[in-house]
Chains A and B, each alone.
Chain A
């Protein structure tokens, strides 16, 4: 199975999926994308995800220690945009666009599972991940 097929299959469970892409950040290297996704569609998504990486250090509240975000969700126009960082290596990220009518918590949860599947299914060591 090539990576595009793996990404398509993993993202199939995401409600309202429009497109998805597996990338390395902040470089923006594209491993694979869901069927039909073009680089023109993905390029602004990848650049935005790279910017969000710079905001991963979350402000500490209530005397709690610093923490690092692993996922971002944005409700923009009629879409939900999710940036999900890899748990094995945070440079790996699954970027997802879904239709806005779906529950954001469900979209996030499904994206987490999709990325977890990809981290298991793909041989990431050859990219030093």
Chain B
């Protein structure tokens, strides 16, 4: 990712995984550093209500259509604007060394109109700051997306598995664990003298994880039955150089 040097990917990932760990009946603010007034991530039940950083107010006005009638925005436009603002704010919140600190509101909810899965906020950051990588990953995975599968793509930096794309119902912490596991597979076969073009691991019940590299991106697809994994095997075999 050409802008990887300026985006604190690992810290953003850690912060959003911390959000996921908030229990379903808990509400509060994950702020960075000692002063909660500098902003933070407003969290309810493990979901992001909003993330806001000091100095980002004007940006929110821009995204909401500065001067335009808010009532004229439809639900999806409003949600998209808030999610984008949250993503941009999150990058600012994570830029320095301040560590996240949880401040509970007890059970008093924010009454948020929208909440977002942490994984969706992270992918919003990716779409904003690594759009080409995100688009390439989406294109690689597009033929494989189905209800029986989970799929994700990762780049690696500073030993962190950074998700570029994720499909299916799984959390950011699960995605990170998947990336770390998948990245260990080629090292397990170094005695065989080469990095595998692709690998499969399967359980006795037929759940399968397929892993492959394309350029410097690692892809992982999980299939829940043998028919789906056989189709994945056929697809990956077709990509092998003749």
Stretch from B55-63, B100-108, B229-237 that touches the partner: B229-237
Contact between A75 and B236 (Cβ–Cβ < 8 Å)?
A: yes
Bound state CA distance, A75 and B180, in angstroms?
20
Contact between B237 and A104 (Cβ–Cβ < 8 Å)?
A: yes
Q: Given contacts A67-B203, A105-B230, is CB(A44)–CB(B192) below 8 Å? A: yes
Contact between B192 and A69 (Cβ–Cβ < 8 Å)?
A: no
Contact between A74 and B189 (Cβ–Cβ < 8 Å)?
A: yes
Contact between A76 and B192 (Cβ–Cβ < 8 Å)?
A: yes
Stretch from A4-12, A15-23, A31-39, A55-63 that touches the partner: A55-63
B contact residues around A51 at 8 Å (CB): 187-189, 191
Is B71 interfacial (CB-CB < 8 Å)?
no
Contact between A72 and B192 (Cβ–Cβ < 8 Å)?
A: no
Q: Residues 224-242 of chain B: 1 if any A CB is under 8 Å from the residue's CB, otherwise 0?
A: 0010011001101100100
Is B185 interfacial (CB-CB < 8 Å)?
yes
Is B65 interfacial (CB-CB < 8 Å)?
no
Q: Given contacts A76-B189, A81-B189, A104-B237, is CB(A59)–CB(B204) below 8 Å? A: no
B contact residues around A126 at 8 Å (CB): none
Contact between A73 and B174 (Cβ–Cβ < 8 Å)?
A: no
Q: Given contacts A59-B174, A67-B205, is CB(A105)–CB(B194) below 8 Å? A: no
Bound state CA distance, A52 and B240, in angstroms?
23
Bound state CA distance, A67 and B240, in angstroms?
29
Contact between B234 and A48 (Cβ–Cβ < 8 Å)?
A: no
Contact between A44 and B233 (Cβ–Cβ < 8 Å)?
A: no
Is A45 interfacial (CB-CB < 8 Å)?
yes
Is B177 interfacial (CB-CB < 8 Å)?
yes
Contact between B233 and A61 (Cβ–Cβ < 8 Å)?
A: no
Is A13 interfacial (CB-CB < 8 Å)?
no
Bound state CA distance, A100 and B240, in angstroms?
9
Q: Nearest CB to that of A67 among chain B residues? A: B203
Is A3 interfacial (CB-CB < 8 Å)?
no
Q: Nearest CB to that of A73 among chain B residues? A: B200
B contact residues around A62 at 8 Å (CB): 150, 168-170, 174
In the complex, besides A73-B199, A81-B189, A105-B234, 7 extra interface pairs with C-beta distance below 8 angstroms are A58-B203, A63-B169, A73-B200, A74-B199, A76-B193, A105-B229, A108-B200
Name 26 interchain pairs, CB-CB below 8 A, sorted by A: A44-B192, A45-B192, A48-B190, A48-B192, A52-B185, A52-B188, A52-B189, A55-B181, A55-B185, A55-B201, A58-B203, A58-B209, A59-B178, A60-B174, A61-B170, A61-B178, A62-B170, A62-B174, A70-B203, A72-B199, A73-B201, A76-B195, A76-B196, A103-B237, A105-B229, A108-B202
B contacts, CB < 8 Å to A: 150, 168-170, 174, 177-178, 180-181, 184-185, 187-205, 207, 209, 222, 226, 229-230, 233-234, 236-237, 240
A-B pairs, 10 with minimum CB distance: A51-B188, A44-B191, A105-B230, A74-B196, A69-B201, A59-B177, A104-B233, A73-B200, A75-B197, A48-B191
